[in-house]
Amino acid sequence: MGIFDRIYNKATPQCQWRLLPMILWVAAMFALLSSISNIVTSGAAGTVISGSAGAATANAESIGLALDQPADSDRAARPTGNHPLQDQKLRAASIQLEALQELPAAIQQQRIDAYIQASSPEELRDPELLRQILPPGLWFQALLLHPSDLETMRLDAQLQSSYGQLYREIVSQQLSPAGTAAVQKLLDSLWAATGAPDKLAAGEFSPLARGDRWLPPERQLSATHRYALDIFYTWLDREGRNEIGPPIRSIGRGIVVAAANDWSGGDRPSLYRSGGLSPKAGNGVIIYCPDNGHWYLYLHLDGVTVTAGDMVAAGQIIGNGGNTGINARKSGHGGHLHLEIFDRSIEAWTSYQIRRYLVNLR
């Protein structure tokens, strides 16, 4: 790998960013050929190399993300140079969506494993660094947009206002099956590497305590959302036009991939000013649960207490019910949590599925 280091270090910073993906790709190809050779050699000699730690180290070295990395005990003492493997921002760039989605699936996982092996435990648990790696919240909203809602959003995007501008940004997000798979693979891998499964409570909780919620009967669901469920509050407080409802809990444990607590607007598009997950959704949270591959969207919240990059336990409070968002701010339309659930294949649950799932949760 010395020739790659020499090429990289002689390049200007601008060229270094362009060279890094090419260097990693070439290195990965060398690693693949080397792995095949090692398998043949070790098979003939009757030796076997096993263990996840050994595999992770081999992957990290093979695709150029762990070269010259110090051991954990020595990491803080080593100076940080401009080598791509010693620069956290460059390492993070190597596993961002733009870098991963163009790679074959096997190389995607190698790249992710190498990043994890080259990063300290503190870096892996840092929400700010995770925010740098993850796609923007708008990308997740585009990913979890049901096709039946796409045409309406495209019409909203035509308005020449801050309302239309935000919807233009959502519908312009670039989605692909490879990109979606890469992001899920990244989230699953980082979740396991941080040790979160051993530290955060598992299980399934109702987003609202039973005494705080009212679930509409199934016979009424045909007149409401087809792919979402509105869960109504049994009590709320008012501060002017703002409604503050009961605490909202995370159904399962997982990673917060998008969150907003800055919605400003009114009950129609012309009154929307800024912020929120979207003008209609208002403040909200999107959480991915690696345990089951589900995505949970909690909308119309007030006082959101988590941010993108946070890892949350099942049952953890993520905010309070509210009436943010144009839809909930309309007279007679507040007082509810709008909940959406998508499975690992990005298939939306129907309102009937969501209700049947929640009815026995406490």
Confidence at residue 131, expressed as pLDDT on a 0 to 100 scale: 94
Confidence at residue 69, expressed as pLDDT on a 0 to 100 scale: 38
**234 by DSSP, 3-state: which?**
coil
Confidence at residue 170, expressed as pLDDT on a 0 to 100 scale: 97
Q: Please, which residues have CB within 8 angstroms of residue 340's CB and are 6 or more apart in sequence? A: 144, 227, 228, 296, 297, 299, 348, 349, 354
CA separation for the pair 317, 304 (Å, rounded): 9
Which tokens belong to 360?
Answer: 């026995």
Please report how the helices 177-193 and 105-118 are oriented relative to each other, as an axis angle in degrees rounded to 10: 30
Confidence at residue 45, expressed as pLDDT on a 0 to 100 scale: 38
Q: Scan for tokens 């969207």, then name that residue.
A: 297
**Per-residue model confidence as pLDDT tens digits over 30-65:** 554 554 444 334 443 333 323 333 443 444 444 444
Query: Which candidate, 103, 28, 118, 18, places its Cα nearest to that of 65?
Result: 118
**Per-residue model confidence as pLDDT tens digits over 208-260:** 999 999 999 999 999 999 999 999 999 999 998 899 999 999 999 999 999 99
Confidence at residue 59, expressed as pLDDT on a 0 to 100 scale: 42
Which tokens belong to 237?
Answer: 């407080």
Which tokens belong to 276?
Answer: 């929120």
Mean pLDDT of the chain: 83
pLDDT confidence bin for 22, thresholds 50/70/90: low
pTM for this entry:
0.79
Mean pLDDT across 267-282: 96
Beta-bridge partners for 319: 248
**Per-residue model confidence as pLDDT tens digits over 74-130:** 333 333 333 455 578 888 899 999 999 999 999 999 999 999 999 988 899 999 999
CA separation for the pair 359, 231 (Å, rounded): 11
State CA 28 to chain mean position distance: 26
Report which secondary-structure segment, H or E, holds 352: helix 351-358
Domains assigned to the chain: 2-119 (no CATH), 196-358 (2.70.70.10)
* Contact between 110 and 63 (Cβ < 8 Å): yes
Confidence at residue 44, expressed as pLDDT on a 0 to 100 scale: 39
Beta-bridge partners for 339: 229, 298
